[in-house]
Amino acid sequence: MDIFNKNVCRCRGISFEQIEDAIKKGADTVEKVAEATNATKGCGRCKSQIKDIVESKTK
């Protein structure tokens, strides 16, 4: 399974692609990605991975 189809947030079923789409639409922080996708609102374990994705996509 490649990273683009992998769920980043398992609790909410949010994929890498959905995170990336939110970033492309202006979500430039973990909090904004969470608002746009509902990621991090379950157990929160995905927060650090989403932070890394946001940082790599907004440089």
| pLDDT tens-digit readout, 2-48 | 555 689 999 999 999 999 999 999 999 999 999 999 999 999 999 99
Is there a domain that residue 47 lies in? yes
Q: What is the CATH number of the domain that holds 40?
A: 1.10.10.1100
- Listed as own residue / partner, the contacts of 20-29 with beta carbons closer than 8 Å and 24 or more positions apart are 20/53, 20/57, 23/53, 23/54, 23/57, 23/58, 24/57, 27/54, 28/54, 28/58, 29/54
- Count of domains for the chain: 1
Is there a domain that residue 19 lies in? yes
Please give the residue range of the domain that contains residue 40: 7-57
Is there a domain that residue 1 lies in? no
Output the pTM of the full model: 0.87
